[in-house]
Each structure stands twice: as structure tokens, then as C-alpha cells.
Amino acid sequence: MMPARLKALLFAGLVIAIAFGTGNGVAAAQARTPTLTVRTIFDVNIRALPGINSAVVGVLPAGETATAIGRTEANNWIQIQYQETTGWVASWVVTFSGDTSILPITTPVQPPPASQGGPFELIAPYNVNLRAAPDVNAGVLMVLRYNTAAEATGRNAASSWLRVRYQGQEGWVAAWPVIVRGDITALPIAGGAGSPPPVATPQPSTTAPSTSLPEGAFTVIAPFRVNIRSAPSLSGTILDVLPFSTPALAVGRNEGNNWIQVEYGETRGWVAAWVVVASADTRLLPVTSPATEITPSAGPLNGRSIYEVAIRTGPGLNFGEQGRLPPATDVTLLARTEDNGWVQINYQGVNGWVAAWLLVASADISNLPVQSLSAAP
């Protein structure tokens, strides 16, 4: 017969083993619950439930990150945790660190699509691969460059990949690193697999007219609502408004290179260069106005990156790259080139130069002092 003391020791050991085994199992289960990082380049409403009609319980500010913890069945609304707030954001207006379809479904609520029809404009805040199929292992057809618009024409059944038309090429891009100007579940499932979700009851359209841009066009994009004026000056009459994350065709600039002439819908007018980002160096645009007026500003000027931007040792693409400015990062602006093509910034205690056409600024960068440097060797 086993001694009582030995029995007690074995029983205690069994209890400890069970306790530790259970704890490890819980920890492992928790570790297996997937989460992702959410990033936004403009302020986004956090809602109590999925759907644009749900109450707003907070705001995810531009440049901030949050943790994605769940999703709707259709994968178009994502549950997030931001500081002390738990709520829902529309998946199509933020970017994610990975495929949101891996997140658990954490609600039975599935609202109808918030948009009607499509296609929708798609914006790439980073360089994104255009692939032959909706799979990360599919062949790369070309690269959708950052600060570039494309047309989303369809989706896969999981709403994790988008069928895209870009520069005459059709292919697939991952939905999680791009921003779309419409609820992606309103797009048809490409390839005929399955049926598109029911469309919401039609309502009178209140959205701005779509602008059809030629391939390879020189464009500007507004990271927020921007006034289009009749002249390159704040005193110019407001003709129209360029909605956030919307591209417009750039057709010219003023002599001072601080205003851009654009075409948007039926409107031709001027937008302040410091509140939009451009698809290329604005100095390449033809001068269509002799104006050099500077919009005065008091105090220091700040800039913000909308996309990842190279920081260089001098004001030009031939200068060496000394670092990267992450998307939605605020920096102090120190100086500019005489032609407003480049601005000097301070990032993490180090001075460097970035292309002015890739930043938005708190005021007209023409207020900055001019710093002249020799050309790169």
C-alpha cells in the first residue's frame, strides 16, 4: 500500500500539473487569438456598432494606431480598441498590418453596404503589389505606387482582396493596406463566385462628381476637404470643394509654386499647394499664372506626411537617403528651396530634406526662409 505522505505528494503534484497545464492552455488560446494594427491618415469615427448610422463613441485621430480585435461577417467593419474605447470602424477608410479576414467574427450585426454600386477610387498610401490572383503568392504584375489612385472594380468573397484597374492593367491588390472611397462590400464578387450583397435602398446622391483621369495623369490628392478657388489666393472665390482622399487633375501652377491649378469634375480652379499632395514634382507643371503672392503666417510651420517619405541629405533626388518619414507623422519645417520644391525638416533630432509635394503643411511654405545648397555630386 502506498504511504499516505507519498499519496499526498503525488496528489499535490497532480494538482500543480493540472493548474499549470490549464494556465498554459489558456495562455496559448489567448496567444492564438489574432489581432492586427490599425492605422489612419485622417480622423475616423469609432462607432458603437457596425454601420454608418450607429452612434459615434470616439474618434481615431489621424496618424494614430489602434488594435483590431474582431470583424463583421462581411469583413467590412472592424472592431478596434483605442485607449479606453472599444468600437467599430469602417474597414475601407483605414489600413491594417495584415489580412483582416483572420480576425474573429465578434458580432451578429451586419449592416447593408454603406455605398451604392461602384467602381470606387482606391488610394495606395504605400507601394502595393498588383497581383495576378487574390493571393500573396500570386505573380506580381506591376506595382501600384504610393500616392496613386486606381479603380476598384470587384472583390473576392472574403472582401480581403480587390480587383483593380490601373494604367490599363487589371489585377488584384490586398484590401488591408489601401483606402477605398466606398464600402467594398458594394462591389461585385469578381469571377462570378457567389452573389454581391444586397444593395441599400437608393437615396439621392450627395457625393461629389467622379473625375475620370487619364492614365499617367499628374494628380493632386486632398487628405481632407480643400477649397478650389477662382485664383491662386485665399481671396479667390470658392468654386467647389475637393473631398478628402479624392484625386484631381493638376494642369498648372503659379510662378511662386505655392498654388496648383486643377480640374475636378466641371470645375477648373486653384488649390493651395501646401494642403494637398501631388503625384510628381509640381515644378514640372506649366506656369499658368504669374502670381507669387505669399499667404502670411505667424509662428513656426509644421508639416505632415500622408505616405512614407524619403528623408535626404539635401534638396534633390540625387542626394543620399538618410531615413524615412513614416505615414501621418508631424515634423517641424525649418527652411525651403527658392522654388518651393523641397523643405528642410527636423525628425527625431536630425535635419534633412523632403520633397515638398509629398507633405501637407500648417501654412504656406513660402513663409519659410530660403536655404541654398550646392547640387548633389
Residue whose C-alpha is closest to residue 60's, from 38, 76, 75: 38
The predicted-structure confidence for 77-99, as pLDDT tens digits, reads as follows 999 999 999 999 999 999 998 88
Whether 311 contacts 347, CB under 8 Å:
yes
206 compared with 109, residue with greater pLDDT: 109
Per cent of the chain over pLDDT 70 is: 82
Q: Would the pLDDT of 211 be above 50?
A: no
Residue 252 has pLDDT above 50, yes or no: yes
- The CATH architecture one would assign to domain 120-192 is Roll (2.30)
pLDDT higher than threshold 70 for residue 317:
yes
Residue spans of alpha helices (H) in 95-218: none
The span from the first CA to the last CA of the chain, in angstroms, equals: 91
Among 2.60.40.650, 2.30.30.40, 3.10.400.10, 1.10.3470.10, name the CATH number for the domain at 219-289.
Answer: 2.30.30.40
Q: Is the pLDDT of residue 377 over 60?
A: no
In terms of DSSP bridges, do strands 330-336 and 342-347 run parallel, antiparallel, or are they unpaired? Answer: antiparallel
Specify whether the CB–CB gap between 333 and 345 falls below 8 A: yes
- CATH 2.30.30.40 positions along the chain are 36-102, 120-192, 219-289, 301-367
Instruction: Say what the pLDDT of residue 373 is.
Output: 63
pTM above 0.75, yes or no: no
Question: Which of the four pLDDT bands, split at 50, 70 and 90, describes residue 191?
Answer: low
Q: Is a pLDDT exceeding 70 seen at residue 126?
A: yes
Q: Which fold has domain 301-367?
A: SH3 type barrels. (2.30.30)
User: What's the average model confidence in pLDDT over 34-50?
Assistant: 87
What DSSP assignment string belongs to 20-75? HHHHHHHHHHHHHS--EEEE-SS-EEEESSSSTTSPEEEEE-TT-EEEEEEE-TTS
| Fold classified for 36-102 | SH3 type barrels. (2.30.30)
At residue 63, the pLDDT reads: 80
Q: If you average pLDDT over every residue of the chain, what do you get?
A: 81
Q: What is the mean pLDDT of residues 146-154?
A: 84
Average pLDDT over residues 156-169: 92
